[in-house]
Amino acid sequence: KDMSEASVKRNIASLKKLYKYLYERKLIKKRDFRKIGYFKSGSKSYPEVLTVREVKLMTGVAKGRGFLGARDKALLLFLYSAGAKASEVCMAKVNDLDLKNHLFIYRNHIGKREVPFCEELIPFLKNYLKARKGILVKLGKKDSEYLFLNRSGDKLTRQSIYLLVKKYAKEAGINKKVTPHTLRHSIIFHLFFFGNTDLDEVKRIFGYTTIPLVLQHTRPLETDTDFVYLKNHPAFKHK
């Protein structure tokens, strides 16, 4: 009863595969796996979203001092401002940054996508890049092509990014389940509802072909107009 909907669905799928395996090898006589129904949720689960105030609280907890502090500050703001996925962040390379034009170039097997971010992120990225260079020199390592590194000079893993986000959300006193994707959902939500960014632009920037689920149900619950880290975002059109 304490399982999430996703866990229940995975378990049902595993049971079906097991019954099918046993039936094909004649270890059971009936095709019992056909009787296992699909999980039907009573209500659709919609993405969690942070308020503007919660984003400020969370990013404010990371003080930006030392290599780890500078990295974590830049990382949190990058996840929010660029709406980047954890998988994109751990594979992001220094050359994917265009600081002059406030762009992150996301590359995959299909091609590339230019993702804008707000200018308030620039000084924190520059501060991190300086600290990053220093730690690599201290470790006696050659420069890495990857943008976000751990204390050993290796690229951050997806799991490390999840743990860092969870840590800072807890320290900020946010009583929500916060993941890197929560920050992505939040920037999409804030730009659309508070920044007057049109739907087509939201889809283009963040790589959606359909309406993002976060915009299908959630509605703004705040009137905060102090859009720090957001008001100078290239896609922000609030006046």
pTM of the model: 0.74
What is the per-residue pLDDT across 106-158, written as a single tens digit (0 to 9) for each? 887 777 888 888 888 899 999 999 999 999 999 999 999 999 999 999 999 99
DSSP reduced 3-state for 203: helix
**Domain range annotation of the chain:** 1-45, 52-217
Q: Which regions in the chain score pLDDT beneath 50?
A: 1, 38-39, 238-239
Count of positions (residues) in the chain: 239
**Secondary structure (DSSP) of 84-96:** --HHHHHH-BGGG
Residue 152 near residue 160 (C-beta atoms within 8 A): no
Please report, for residues 79, 85, 228, the alpha-carbon distance to residue 115 in angstroms, rounded to integers and kept in the order given: 12, 12, 19
Contacts of 10 (CB under 8 A, 6+ apart): none
Please report the pLDDT score of residue 221 as a whole number. 56
CA distance 98 to 83: 16
Please report the pLDDT score of residue 225 as a whole number. 53
Question: Span 52-217: which CATH code?
Answer: 1.10.443.10
137-142-148-152 Cα dihedral, nearest 10 degrees: -70
